[in-house]
Amino acid sequence: MKLIKVAAAVLNQTPLDWPGNKTNILAAIEAAREQGVSVLCLPELCISGYGCEDAFLSPDVQATSLDVLAEIVTATDGMIVSLGLPLLFNNALFNTACLVANGRILGFVGKQNLPGDGIHYEPRWFKPWPVGVRSNIRINKIDYAVGDIDFDCGGVKIGFEICEDAWVGDRPGGELSERGVDVILNPSASHFAFGKTEVRRRFVLEGSRAFGLSYIYSNLLGNEAGRAIYDGDAMIACNGKMLATGKRFSFENVQITTAIIDVELTRMARAKMAMFKPDFHERENARIEADFDFPEVMPEVQDVTNAAWESSPDVKEEEFTRSVRLALFDYMRKSHSRGFIVSLSGGADSAAVATLVASMVSAGIDELGFDGFRNKLSYIDSLESATDVRGAVKALLTCAYQGTQNSSEVTRNAAQSVADGLGADYMEFDVDALVQGYVDLVEKGLGRKLTWEQDDIALQNIQARVRAPSVWMLANVKGALLTATSNRSEAAVGYATMDGDTSGGLSPIAGIDKAFLRHWLRWMETTGPLDEAPVPVLGTVNSQQPTAELRPQAAEQTDEGDLMPYDLLDSIERLAIRDKHSPLEVFKLVRAEFAQYAPSQLGPWVERFFTLWCRNQWKRERYAPSFHLDDENLDPKTWCRFPILSGGYHRELNELREYVKQLG
């Protein structure tokens, strides 16, 4: 046996936060050393931060990354550590992993496969390192190997697959296995999406089995740069068996996951493979050798147990709650905001945002302890007097109900009940006089009365817009983040008032559809996450039909009456935007799924969706930053590009009308 203790560290980094990122890296190294770890894998681009975007192209970012690397290297005595950073070589920028051992840089491995789809834009900044190419780079008068290389540290051979390298069909791991590598390190920055961790587990397990080696996977953690959320996945596998997994969605800055691997066992497993073909070709500078003395390690019982919630039938609800509350916490503290302001309407969307903020406070205190939670938010003075969770919620969450003559007692009571149930600071503003003031002003300018028959949209929108200045002022006074409360279904069809309910510096639920959001609120009312009690007071919201309450109450306005049933809207959105089907194709598909509706009803609904989608791209361009939660995002800045001006599907919609007409 040749036993080695290895570890994957997940880090909550921030782009260009050199001192903070360095502190987390050094803390991970020290924590691993205390646990007797010899080989430590850190996440991708952990020195600079992954989400630096065009700042990657700054010469100073390259120079500072190398300076910080040099400062960290001295802390690696007795350990082998991978560190990620951007590296300029031959006037091209590369995403690299640097392997360091015993306080010495051994070399830099270049990422071979760059994601350029979805929320990823790596080809904008980096070049893919060509397979089989090795060279040397001079840094501070010392030459280091760079490129497609592996390492022999004290007789243990180490190679890299950097994030996307493991997601492609022709993985580097196959060649690394043929070259005799014992351990593959995978430093990653893999954004969260529902169910994505299962995909990662499959390629980690299959890589370790098919390549006959040990595999160490380390991801980023938290809301690193604003939109993407990282779940902090950490996995260690050997010969197709998972040895250890880490805790996901932690509020800690650093988490270490360890395991003991048997190098000789993996070598013999590979020797047994009939299809294994060792590569005997010698390649110049392909392998970097370094002396390293691995300490003697005693066998340990290694028991992999996932968190109970990960095997729950409600795993999507759990992931939604845990991802968004961690993202809210990081967004708040990294922007140095002093809490959140929610314009609480008494409806589903604003109640969901307020509930997520309260859940963030509860979960953060539960994991970090009250003192630890306050220490991470030490700049917030109002937290000093809080002595329990409800006190902390009150310090960090302010809700304001802003009524007009069209608002009902039902929504006012629901708003107050939800705010009180969560423990939020609650206020009520009567903005009807402000609405009437604007109406009078415009009527005087036009020289006529405004009526619901002629000016419906204008009279609805002024009520939503009048509510914005007061909550913005409240946010300014408190130094807090104003949250917009629009969801993805509304964004798809522009069912939101710009500078009204879209006002805010952050739009936490703009990445999730209304049908799921309503389901999640019912789940939170009756069940809730495994580590929290449910929130029964949400029943006051869940018992209502969603309504904007912008028309007179006699109109009995509802969202679905203005648009269409939300489950149908969400289905049309997926088919049209995610799957790129034409209007006629969408109609045929939803007709099969929603047989309860007549073609004469479905046809106009499909047409309405496409018309409103095209008409409202400008609104989606102006939405506050939102969190990426799945591959159905509509955010034009990170996921779904569409022209602001377009032909509006006129030809395609005519084709749809003719088809529906023929059905009779």
Residues 258 and 347 in one domain: no
Residue 281 identity: H
Residues 331 and 216 in one domain: no
Residues 269 and 317 in one domain: no
User: How many whole angstroms from its chain centre is CA 45?
Assistant: 17
DSSP helix, strand, coil percent of the chain (3-state; round to 5): 45, 20, 40
In tens, the pLDDT along 115-132 reads 998 899 999 999 999 999
Q: Is the pLDDT of residue 283 over 80?
A: no
In tens, the pLDDT along 248-272 reads 999 999 999 999 999 999 998 888 8
- Give the full edge-to-edge strand order of the sheet including 134-139: 134-139, 142-147, 104-110, 92-101, 80-89, 39-41, 3-11, 254-262
In a domain, 167, yes or no: yes
Residue ending a domain, among 523, 546, 563, is 563
Burial class of residue 610 in the structure, from the number of CB atoms within 10 Å of its CB (0-12 exposed, 13-18 middle, 19+ buried): buried
pLDDT of residue 489: 95
Give the pLDDT band of residue 558 (cuts 50, 70, 90).
confident
Residues 261 and 333 in one domain: no
In a domain, 618, yes or no: no
Residues 362 and 418 in one domain: yes
In a domain, 536, yes or no: yes
Q: Is the pLDDT of residue 68 over 70?
A: yes
Q: Percent of the chain scored above 70 by pLDDT?
A: 99
User: How many whole angstroms from its chain centre is CA 74?
Assistant: 33
In a domain, 613, yes or no: no
Residues 341 and 249 in one domain: no
* CATH classification at residue 369: 3.40.50.620
Residues 264 and 314 in one domain: no
Residue 222 identity: G
pLDDT of residue 210: 94
542 CB neighbour count, 10 Å cutoff: 17
173-182, 278-287, 321-330, 402-411: segment of lowest average pLDDT? 278-287
In a domain, 59, yes or no: yes
Residues 170 and 317 in one domain: no
In a domain, 375, yes or no: yes
In tens, the pLDDT along 145-177 reads 999 999 999 999 999 999 999 999 999 999 999
Residues 271 and 318 in one domain: no
Domain of 219 in residue numbering reads as 3-275
In tens, the pLDDT along 447-464 reads 999 999 999 999 999 999
Q: How far lies 368's CA from each of 134, 214, 356, in Å?
A: 45, 32, 18
Q: How far lies 130's CA from each of 109, 120, 238, 278, 447, in Å?
A: 11, 20, 28, 22, 71
In tens, the pLDDT along 626-657 reads 999 998 999 998 899 999 999 999 999 999 99
* CATH classification at residue 140: 3.60.110.10
Q: What is the DSSP string of 305-365?
A: ---GGGGSTTHHHHHHHHHHHHHHHHHHHHTT---EEEE--SSHHHHHHHHHHHHHHHHHH
Mean pLDDT of 414-432: 97
Burial class of residue 587 in the structure, from the number of CB atoms within 10 Å of its CB (0-12 exposed, 13-18 middle, 19+ buried): buried
Number of domain units in the chain: 2
In a domain, 631, yes or no: no
- Nearest CA to 81 out of 163, 133, 151 is that of 151
Task: With both helix axes pointing from N to C terminus, report the angle between 650-663 and 583-593 in degrees, rounded to the nearest 10.
Answer: 40
Residue ending a domain, among 563, 589, 604, is 563
Tell me the three state secondary structure of residue 170.
Answer: coil
pTM of the model: 0.95
Residues 265 and 320 in one domain: no
Residue ending a domain, among 506, 532, 563, is 563
In a domain, 591, yes or no: no
pLDDT of residue 280: 67
Give the pLDDT band of residue 301 (cuts 50, 70, 90).
confident
Residues 23 and 126 in one domain: yes
